[in-house]
Amino acid sequence: MMRWSIASILVLSIMIIGPVWITGCINPQEITLEELARRESQRRHRVQEDSIRTAQEAEQLARQAEERRRRQSVERRLVEDREAQRQEASAEELRRMALLSTIYFDYDEYKFRDDQFLSLDENVQKLREFRPEDRILIEGHCDERGTLEYNLALGERRAGAVKSYLGDGGLDESRIEIISYGEEKPADMGHDEQAWSKNRRVELKRTEL
C-alpha cells in the first residue's frame, strides 16, 4: 500500500480546493449583461439630467443678462434725455442772456419812461454776468416826424442816455459805442402812433472784440 507523505497530501488538497475557492470568490452578478445595461442606463440618465440642468442654468443666465442689458439701456436713455434737456436749457439760457432788450421812448423825448427801467436793469445784469468781454453797440432811432437832422440828434441823445445808464451800472463805457440812425431804420413801416411807438427806440447789440 502506497504511503502518502504530508507534503503530497497538502499539494493534492491545494490542487483540488483552489479552483473551487477562486470560483466562489467571483460574483457572477457583477459581470452580467443585465448589470452592465442597468449601469449604462443610469449613466445616460445622469448625463441627461446634467444636460437639462446645464441648459436651464444657461437659460437663466441669458435671461439675467438680457434684463441687465434692458435696465442699462433704460438708464442710458434716461441719462441721455436728462443731458439733452440740460443742454437745451443751457442753450436757451445762453440765448436769453445774449439778447438785450430794446428801450422805448415817448415822442420827442430821450428821458426814460418809467416802464423801461426793468429792461434797462436786465440789460446791465446780462452785460455784467454773461460775456463781459463783449463790446456793445447802442443804436438810437426815431419815428418819421421831424427833420432828418433833428432826428439824428435825438437818436444820439437817446443812445447816449442808455450808455450813461450802463456806465452807472458798473460797465466799462470804453467798451460801449453809440450811433444814431434817426428815422432811417424804422422797426415798423406804418404811419400811425402804433408804428411810431415802435420806432422811438434804442437797440443794444453785442459785438465781438
Tens-place pLDDT, residues 72-90 = 888 777 677 666 655 665 6
Please determine, for residue 21, whether its predicted confidence score (pLDDT) is greater than 60.
no
Distance CA 158, CA 104 (A): 9
Indicate the SS3 state at residue 175: helix
pLDDT computed for residue 136 by the predictor: 96
What is the per-residue pLDDT for 72? Answer: 85
Residue range 100-207 forms a domain whose CATH class is alpha beta
Higher pLDDT, 37 or 27: 37
Cβ 144 vs Cβ 191: under 8 Å: yes
Res 204: pLDDT: 97
Q: Which pLDDT belongs to residue 173?
A: 93
What DSSP state is assigned to residue 54? H
67 against 195, higher pLDDT:
195
Confidence of residue 127 (pLDDT cuts 50, 70, 90): very high
Tell me the per-residue pLDDT of 94-107, one tens digit each, with 9 for 90 and over. 888 889 999 999 99
pLDDT of residue 69: 87
Q: Which residues contact 208 (CB under 8 A, 6 or more apart)?
A: 134, 135
Q: What CA dihedral angle connects 28, 31, 37 and 42, to 10 degrees?
A: 100
User: Which pLDDT score, from 0 to 100, does residue 203 have?
Assistant: 97
Q: Strand 103-104 relative to strand 135-141: parallel, antiparallel, unpaired?
A: unpaired
Which pLDDT value is given to residue 135? 95
pLDDT digits over 181-206, tens only?
Answer: 999 999 999 999 999 999 999 999 99
Query: What's the pLDDT at 41?
Result: 87
10 Å Cβ neighbour count for 208?
A: 7
Round to whole Å and give the CA distance between 120 and 91.
23
Q: Which residues pair with 182 in a beta bridge?
A: 141
More confident position, 161 or 209: 161
Joined together, the cell numbers standing for residue 201 give 427806440
Sign of CA dihedral 73, 75, 79, 81: positive
| CA 127 vs CA 62, 79, 110, 158: distances in Å | 58, 33, 22, 19
Residue with cell 452578478: 29
From residue 160, alpha-carbon distances to 19, 111, 137, 153 in Å are: 134, 11, 11, 10
From first CA to last CA, the distance across the chain in angstroms is: 146
- As given in the structure block, the three cell numbers for residue 107 are 415822442
For the full predicted model, state whether its pTM sits above 0.75.
Answer: no
Q: Which residue has the higher pLDDT, 61 or 184?
A: 184
pLDDT at 150: 97
